[in-house]
Structure 1
Amino acid sequence: MFLVKHYVTRSKIHGLGVFTQVPIRAGDTVWRYDPMFDVDIPVAALQKFPEDLAQTVLHHAEYIPHLGIFRLGNDGDMFMNHSKDPSLIDRGEEMIAARDMAVGTELTCDYGQVHVLGFENALQPLLEAAA
């Protein structure tokens, strides 16, 4: 769940992106997992989803291998795009600002650390392992 005011609009990176409505300082906690707000979806449950909903999860949720779940945010988090120079640093249950950010900065993460499988083409082996 984002801890800062944010908005979703067109991104220069890909489709829609999430942007800060407030200035953020380097090191500030910007996002924190909240089990009352974010949704954890077991890998095996994806097999029961209609294809379009499974694709939504694959492209908008983080896959957490050691838990065997997809974590889907219920706010602008689901529109966070990848960057090789991300504005946020993944700390597991939290994300912190990598640098100072002005209003309107796109909030990005590194998909090498935050695994978004829709961009890794890794679904089929995962579903077969869960079966």
Structure 2
Amino acid sequence: MMLLVDARIGPSRIHGLGLIAQAPIAKGTVVWRLEPTFDVVIPESQLAQLSLAARRALAYYAVFDIEKRVFILSSDDDRFTNHADDPNCSFHGEQRASRAIAAGEEITVNYRELGWTQFGGMPLCGAIPPPPPPEGSRMSDAPNDAGPFTLRPRQESGRASPS
């Protein structure tokens, strides 16, 4: 997603690092949108072809679009946008400021609004794909039947898991 406002990575009161507005952002301003020639879109069907290191990077920094079954890896600082239950941005085809955002304020979204509720209300980021199940087995035979990811505690800064 292409970041369309002046924002930088900075200390977050929510979680480690966050995306901080460098100038005031008016209500209704488009903050970011998908730019296919700039961002990386990876179909879920290609996940198994990636190295474990690449899958870990996706799990930590990418957004998983449940409806389209694709991972979206932002190529800019947008990947540091943290979750808030009362965010200052909302997403309806593109991310917009849902209220005025002051310079120095952290830009936030509600991960649940984006459909990232696959694991009991927890966002998909911070998850690590387990190894694929043995050849010929069904998903229900695999150690993790919850889907293609296993949740793990966060150890670095980035998108925050809601508490």
TM > 0.5 fold call: yes
Q: 1:19, 1:104 within 8 Å by CA — same for their partners in 2?
A: yes
Say yes or no: does 1:117 pair with 2:119.
Answer: no
Provide the TM-score with structure 1 as the length reference.
Answer: 0.85
Question: d(CA) in 1 for partners of 2:63 and 2:4?
Answer: 18
Provide the TM-score with structure 2 as the length reference.
Answer: 0.69
Partner letter of residue 101 of structure 1?
I
> What CA RMSD, in Å, does the superposition of the two structures yield over aligned residues?
2.0
Question: d(CA) in 2 for partners of 1:57 and 1:26?
Answer: 30
1:30-72 Cα offsets, whole Å, 9 max, x none, are 1111111111011132223233321221122111122110111
Say yes or no: does 1:127 pair with 2:128.
Answer: no
Question: d(CA) in 2 for partners of 1:4 and 1:75?
Answer: 11
> How many aligned positions are there?
126
In percent, how many aligned pairs have the same letter? 34
Question: d(CA) in 2 for partners of 1:97 and 1:106?
Answer: 12
Q: 1:88, 1:108 within 8 Å by CA — same for their partners in 2?
A: yes
Counterpart position of 1:30: 31
Q: 2:63, 2:125 within 8 Å by CA — same for their partners in 1?
A: no
For residues 47-62 of structure 1, what are the structure 2 equivalents within 5 Å? 47-62=48-63
1:59-117 Cα offsets, whole Å, 9 max, x none, are 2211112211011111111111100011110112x111011111111111111022241
Cα offset, 1:122, TM superposition = 8.9
Structure of higher RCO (CA pairs closer than 8 Å, 6+ residues apart): 1
Counterpart position of 1:87: 88
Counterpart position of 1:68: 69
Quickly say closer, same or farther: Cα 1:126–1:43, change in 2 above 3 A. farther
Compare the two structures and name the one with the higher helix fraction: 1
Unaligned runs of 5+ in 1: none
SS in 1 for 2:90: strand
Partner letter of residue 18 of structure 1?
L
Partner letter of residue 87 of structure 1?
N
- My pick for the range that moved more, 82-91 or 58-67, is 58-67
Over alpha carbons, which structure has the higher Rg? Answer: 2
Unaligned runs of 5+ in 2: 117-122, 130-143, 150-163
Question: d(CA) in 2 for partners of 1:108 and 1:48?
Answer: 32
Question: d(CA) in 2 for partners of 1:109 and 1:60?
Answer: 15
